[in-house]
DNA sequence: AGAAGTCCGTTGCACGTGCAACCGCATACT
DNA sequence: AGTATGCGGTTGCACGTGCAACGGACTTCT
């Protein structure tokens, strides 16, 4: 079961299923379990391992200057914990990662990924790792692109154009509801609904629930 | 001269100066020149090479939905062009990179970095590359952290706390002026000045120009 | 010294948007 | 069928902030 999740994870893509177990032992990957509401990474920790979530869900959150807790991301099976921190040298974690349910996590020491060993597909693994880190960065870049727009309308247009670009069509469905969309764009949900209807009124877009159509 | 810039660049840190030339030829690095206002990367391009700016300055910009051009970053000698795109597989560039002056650029095919060759310090190079990509991602993360705060005061506090954390002190100097700070936080400069003086009035911070002191 | 430029702070005003509350419409469950 | 729940749209209001314009402190150049 663990292997199924791993094989679907981008880090091990392109690596034959039969070679996975060999690679994992070569990399000294270790499996650990965490009970519900345990802390996997604490704010300020150094992270020498890549962690892959095998089962359960976790969340990363940051403590505000006022002590308020801000949820940053939700991590699902197949997702990474601290991949950026492990890839970077000596960066302290800006977030705390908590288990929302009982977790099974696979740890892989970053050092073992960097140091070439004799097991097969190591080049592929490195390439995948680099790809995963770069992809994370590009996703952050995409969100920044939306966040820096001055008005909600601009944010929404940037957001939708990115989806249209990926879909290769003016018409597409987004994989989230209004709440998540508002959270991503960092705007109030009702303000987002208001602006969306104004944009429809102005003939910029058409939409119904999660389906959108750009008329630009 | 090119080697001086390269040796200072994070990608080649920890690699003895004497071995650099050998590595570059092993990696098939090629040097190219660009005249002022030339385009190095176009929006939508695929980027198979890491590019390191040897001399001159460049900027990356993005064309708005309204056709307006938004400046994203400024690139100085020793800086990278398209490192995230080269590290990611098949991602099209979201930005255009333009030469602001005459440029000298060093191109290194990403494939040659990934595929282990016999030249020394290749592991170090890979580690450095991963580190550079992760660092870029973490910088984007830090900025996101500021951008998602609801008010200017929250943004400023997050921004300053990050600096205080890095400096290890409540008192520090930031390497940018009000314009750049306002740009980073994506707020109006005058609104930033206003909020800063209110925060001083409220006893939260003290400051003078680029010097700040947190009293929290 | 005078002029011009740069950087930063101040302020009046208007507009965008966060906030709260409410409603309509689905789907799911008993 | 009736109720509960979740999601999305609507609206009045107040407040934060973008915007524009101006002034002061400081630097640079002629």
| A157-179 pLDDT tens trace | 999 999 999 899 999 999 999 99
Q: What is the pLDDT of residue B2?
A: 55
Chain C footprint bases within 7 A of protein beta carbons: 7-12, 16-21
Nearest CB to A123 within list B114, B133, B154: B114
- From the alpha carbon of A196, which nucleotide's C1' atom is closest? D9
- Tell me the whole-structure pTM to 2 decimals: 0.91
The tens place of each residue's pLDDT in chain B, 216 residues long, gives 455 788 889 999 988 888 888 899 889 999 999 998 899 999 999 999 999 999 888 888 887 666 566 667 888 889 999 999 999 988 999 899 989 888 999 999 999 998 867 777 888 898 899 999 999 999 999 999 999 999 999 999 999 999 999 899 999 999 999 999 999 999 999 999 999 999 999 999 999 989 999 987
Q: What's the pLDDT tens digit per position in A119-172?
A: 778 888 988 999 999 999 999 999 999 999 999 999 999 999 999 998 999 999
By the 8 A CB rule, do A83 and A140 touch? no
pLDDT at B68: 61
Q: Tell me whether residue A154 is exposed, middle or buried, using C-beta atoms within 10 angstroms of its C-beta: 0 to 12, 13 to 18, 19 or more.
A: middle
CATH number of the domain residue A179 falls in: 1.10.10.10
B116 lies in the same domain as B190: no
Model pLDDT, residue B67? 59
Last residue of a domain, one of A101, A118, A141: A141
Measured CA A158 to C1' D12 distance, in angstroms: 29
Q: Which one of B109, B141, B173 terminates a domain?
A: B141
Calculate the angstrom distance between C1' of C24 and CA of A209. 14
Residue A33 belongs to a domain: yes
Q: How far apart are CA B84 and CA B47, in angstroms?
A: 9
Q: Based on the fold, state whether residues A133 and A60 are members of the same structural domain.
A: yes
Q: In this structure, are B120 and B210 located in the same domain?
A: no
B146 occurs within a structural domain: no
d(CA A148, CA A158): 10
Q: What is the pLDDT of residue A73?
A: 80
| pLDDT above 60 (res A182) | yes
Q: Give the domain-ending residue among A84, A113, A141.
A: A141
* pLDDT for residue B74: 81
Partner-chain residue, chosen from B70, B87, B157, that has the shortest CB–CB distance to A134: B87
In a domain, B133, yes or no: yes
Chain B interface test: which of A61, A110, A134, A154 (most B C-beta within 10 Å)? A134
Q: What is the dihedral of CA A73, A77, A78, A83, to 10 degrees?
A: 40
Interface membership of B153 toward A (CB under 8 Å): no
Do B122 and B179 fall within a single domain? no
User: Which residue, chain included where needed, has tokens 């970077």?
Assistant: A88
Q: Which residue has the tokens 């940037």?
A: A158
Q: Do residues B137 and B169 both lie within one domain?
A: no
Of A111-115, A185-189, B37-41, the range with the lowest mean pLDDT is: A111-115
Shared domain check, B107 and B171: no
Q: What pLDDT sits at residue B65?
A: 62
Write out pLDDT tens, residues A36-85: 889 999 999 999 999 999 998 888 888 766 666 666 788 888 999 999 99
Q: CA neighbours within 13 Å on the CB side: how many for B7?
A: 11
Cβ of A116 within 8 Å of Cβ of B115? The answer is no
**Beta-bridge partners for B53:** B105
For residues A204 and A182, membership in a common domain is answered with yes
Q: Is A84 on the interface with B (CB under 8 A)?
A: yes
What's the confidence (pLDDT) of residue A70?
67
Number of domains in chain B: 2
Asked whether residue B31 falls in the same domain as residue B135, the answer is yes
Judgement on whether residues B40 and B126 belong to the same structural domain of the protein = yes
Q: Note whether B28 contacts A: Cβ–Cβ < 8 A.
A: no
pLDDT confidence band for A213 (50 / 70 / 90): very high
- Together in a domain, B72 and B29: yes
Residue B80 belongs to a domain with what CATH number? 2.60.120.10
**B191 and A CB contact within 8 Å:** no
Same domain for A158 and A134? no
Whether chain A has a CB inside 8 Å of the CB on B7: the answer is: no
Strand C close residues, chain B 141-200, CB < 7 angstroms: 150, 177-179, 190-191, 193-194, 196-197
Domain range enclosing A180: 152-214
Say if B147 falls within a structural domain: no
CA of A90 to C1' of D15 (A): 42
Residue B54 lies in a domain: yes
Question: What's the CA gap between A39 and A32, in Å, rounded?
Answer: 13
CB B210 within 8 A of CB B181: no
* Same-domain status, A124 and A206: no
Half-sphere exposure of B9 (CA within 13 A, CB side): 27
């Amino acid at each position: 079961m663990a292997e199924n999740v791993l094989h679907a994870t981008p880090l091990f893509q392109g690596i034959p299923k039969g070679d996975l177990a060999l690679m994992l032992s070569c990399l000294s990957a270790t499996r650990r379990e965490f009970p519900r509401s345990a802390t996997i990474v604490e704010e300020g920790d150094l992270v020498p391992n890549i962690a892959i979530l095998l089962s359960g869900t976790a969340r990363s959150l940051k403590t505000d200057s006022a002590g308020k807790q801000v949820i940053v991301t939700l991590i699902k099976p197949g997702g990474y914990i601290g991949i950026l921190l492990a890839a970077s040298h000596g960066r302290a974690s800006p977030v705390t990662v908590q288990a929302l349910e009982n977790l099974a996590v696979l740890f892989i020491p970053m050092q073992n990924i960097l140091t070439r060993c004799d097991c097969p597909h190591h080049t592929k693994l490195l390439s995948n790792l680099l790809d995963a880190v770069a992809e994370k960065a590009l996703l952050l870049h995409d969100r920044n692109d939306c966040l820096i727009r001055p008005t909600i309308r601009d944010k929404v247009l940037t957001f939708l154009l990115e989806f249209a670009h990926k879909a290769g069509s003016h018409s597409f469905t987004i994989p989230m509801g209004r709440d998540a969309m508002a959270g991503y764009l960092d705007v109030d949900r009702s303000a987002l609904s208001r602006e969306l209807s104004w944009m429809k009124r102005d003939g910029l877009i058409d939409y119904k629930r999660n389906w959108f159509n750009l008329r630009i």
